Amino acid sequence: MRALLTLPDGERPSGGWPLILAIHDAFGFSDDIRRIARRFAENGYAALAPAVYDGAGAPFLCVVRTFRDLQARKGAAFERIEAARAHAAALPEIDGDRLGVTGFCMGGGFAIFFAARGGLKVCAPYYGDTPSHAEQLRDICPVVAGFGALDKQFAAQGERLERHLTELGVQHDVKIYPDVGHSYMNDFGEGAMAALMRRTPLHAGYDEEASEDSWRRMLGFFSEHL
C-alpha cells in the first residue's frame, strides 16, 4: 500500500512529532490529499496519507470493496488504515502517543469509525458517515467536524453526530456551514466535473471561506487535545 508521510521542517521534538492520519475522499489518493498533508506539516504536525484503495483490486472493484468495508465498519480497508497507523507510530520521528485522524467524504466516515475503536487523541471528520446509535461512539476521542447544509445526503449526518457526542459527553466542535455543500474543503480546481458535482444533490464544491474556517477550528482543536 502506498502512503505519503509528510514531516514538518525544522528540528524534531525530543519525543517526536504528533501524527495525523489523513484519509482521502472517494476520488482516491490525489493531489488534494497531498496538499492537505503538506498543510498539516506546515503547522507542526506529521501527516500520513494512506492510499486506502491500494490492494483492494482493479480500479472499479477497489472502490466497491472499500465502500463495502465502510458500511460494515470492518474489513480490509480498516486493516490497511491500522497498518499505516502502526507503521508510522513506530517511526523515530513520530510521537506514538499523540495520534489523530482526519478524513473527507468517504474518508470522513473511515475517520469516525476508526477513531471509535479507541487509542487516538483527536478525530476530525468532514462530511462523512456517522453511526445510527450513540453507543457505537462510546470509545471515541474528542471530535472537531464540519458539514455543509446544502449537502442533501450528509448534512443530517452532522446533526446526528452532534447529538451523539452531546449524549455521550464527548468534547466536540461540530459545525454545519449554511451556504456550502459536500467536499467544501477539497480543492480539485474548476472544470466540467466540478460544475457537474455542484448540480448534484450533494452540491459538492470547494468553498474557500468555509474551508479556511474549518482549518482554523481544526488546528485550534488539535492544539488543545493533541
Res. 192: pLDDT tops 60: no
The Cα 214–Cα 31 span in angstroms is: 20
- β-bridge mates for residue 5, sequence order: 48
Task: Report the predicted TM-score, pTM, of the whole model to 2 decimal places.
Answer: 0.94
Mean pLDDT confidence for 53-59 = 70
- Model confidence over 194-210: pLDDT tens digits? 667 777 889 999 999 99
What cell numbers appear for 181 in the block?
455543500
pLDDT at 156 (0 to 100): 97
What domains does the chain contain, in order, with CATH numbers?
3-225 (3.40.50.1820)
Res. 2: pLDDT tops 60: yes
The Cα 147–Cα 18 span in angstroms is: 25
Report which residue type is found at 175.
Answer: K
The Cα 25–Cα 97 span in angstroms is: 26
